[in-house]
Structure 1
Amino acid sequence: MELSVKNIQGGDTGRKVTLADSVFGIEPNNHAIYLDVKQYLANRRQGTHKAKERNEVSGSTKKIVKQKGSGGARHGSRKAPIFVGGGRIFGPRVRDYSFKLNKKLKQLARRSALTYKAQGNAIHVLENPVFAAPKTKEYIKVMNALSLADKKTLVVLPEPNENFYLSSRNLQNTKVVQASSLNTYDVMNCDQLVLCEGAVAMINESLGK
């Protein structure tokens, strides 16, 4: 699959890049995408939630009333969960939600996500942008030139580009990442995928194996 490379003014540069069929033209695996997205979201969870249980609540452990003869239920401590201020039964504990996936499965998930974008004609190739300084207005001009200003976009850079990244940081509907950190969640979470010219070869090489 070949796509024309556009400049930051939205015009055709006359160059073309090839999207490898082994990356952008496979039979998508929905379950692999599900597992990879699930892992990504799970790994982002802090897991710092915590509620005090009976043995952690501050209070007296003195028996409230005698065992028999009170006419009521038996109670041994004010820290029991049925009392106001008592511990919580089976409350949330600090835990790690992260889990591991096979490397080949994660690569399959990324190839599947990229294939869906290719099938939906949602991939654009942009020449490597050069910004002299961080300017949000300049970034918006580029998106307008590509007719993507009102779309949720993911821009993939071949290497760090601080000025370009800072120019996009204040905008809600766009995200800029490097090709080395491209993940399934970000690809599926965008409407349009913008690949910088240098990033295409990196993706073809890393995922085409």
Structure 2
Amino acid sequence: MEVAVLKSSGEATSKKVNLSDSVFAIEPNDHAIYLDVKSYLANQRQGTHKSKQRNEISGSSKKLKKQKGTGGARAGNIKNPQFKGGGRVFGPVPRDYSFKLNKKVKDLARKSALSYKAKDNSIAILEDFNFDAPKTKQFVALLKALSVADKKTLFVLAEANKNVVLSGRNIENSKITTADQINTFDVMNADNIIFVESSISKVENLLNKE
């Protein structure tokens, strides 16, 4: 699959990049995508939720009333879960939600996601560029030139670029990542993916590695 390389002005150059079929044109595996996205979202959870159980509530342990003869139900102490302010039964406790996913499954998921985007013509290749200084206005102008200013966009750089990252980090619906950090969730969540020309080979080498 050949894709024309674009200038920062949005115009096409005479260059074209041939995308690897083994990464951008495989038969997508929906279940692998599901597992990888589920794993990514689970890893984002802090798992710090906590409610106090009966043994952690501050209060007297004295029996509230005698066992029989009151005409009401039996009652223990004030920390009983049935009473207001009592401990919670089976409440949430801190836990780790993350789970392991095999590397081959993760690679298959990323290839599947990229293949979906390539099939939808949602992938563009941009000439390597750099900003002399962090300028949000320049990054906004770049998005407008590429006609993606009003869409969710994922920029994939070959390597970390401080000026570019600082220029685009506060822009809504725009995310910047590097070739070695690309993940299935970001790919599927974006309407358009803009690859910097030098990042393509790095992504292909990463996902074709045995």
Normalised to the residue count of structure 2, the TM-score between the two structures is 0.97
Deviations 1:65-111 (A, max 9, x none): 11122221111211001111110111111111000111100000000
Which amino acid in 2 is paired with 1:113? Answer: A
Counterpart of 1:55 in 2: which secondary structure?
helix
In the alignment, which residue of structure 1 is the partner of 2:106? 106
Aligned partner of 2:44 in structure 1 is 44
What secondary structure sits across from 2:195 in the alignment? strand
What is residue 128 of structure 2 aligned with on the other side? Answer: 128
1:198 is matched with which residue? 198
Distance 1:125 1:159 in 2: 15
Alignment of 1:8-157 (within 5 A): 8-157=8-157
Q: Percent identity?
A: 59
Aligned twin of 1:183 = 183
- Work out whether residues 46 and 96 of structure 1, in 8 Å CA contact, stay in contact via their aligned partners in 2: yes
What is the rounded CA distance, in whole Å, between the counterparts of 1:64 and 1:53 in structure 2?
A: 19
Question: What secondary structure is seen at the aligned counterpart in 2 of 1:14?
Answer: strand
Question: What is the alpha-carbon distance in structure 2 between the residues aligned to residue 41 and residue 165 of structure 1?
Answer: 23
TM-score between both structures, scaled by the size of structure 1: 0.98
Q: Which moved more, 1:190-199 or 1:12-21?
A: 12-21
Q: Using the alignment, how far apart are the partners of 2:12 and 2:119 within structure 1?
A: 22
CA distance in 2, matches of 1:65, 1:51: 27
Deviations 1:98-144 (A, max 9, x none): 00111100000000000000000000000112100111110111111
Moved over 2 A (4+): none
- 2 CA distance for matches of 1:90 and 1:70? 30
Q: What's 2:173 paired with?
A: 173
What CA distance in whole angstroms lies between the structure 1 residues aligned with 2:147 and 2:78?
66
CA displacement at 1:168 relative to structure 2? 0.7
Partner Cα separation in structure 1 for residue 111 and residue 101 of structure 2: 15
Deviation at 1:12, TM superposition (A): 2.4
Distance 2:69 2:148 in 1: 78
Q: Aligned partners of 1:63, 1:146: CA distance in 2, in Å?
A: 72
Q: Which moved more, 1:101-110 or 1:59-68?
A: 59-68
Q: 1:2 offset after TM fit, Å?
A: 1.3
- Contact persistence 1:20–1:208 (CA under 8 A): no
Equivalent pair of 1:64/1:77 in contact (CA under 8 Å): yes
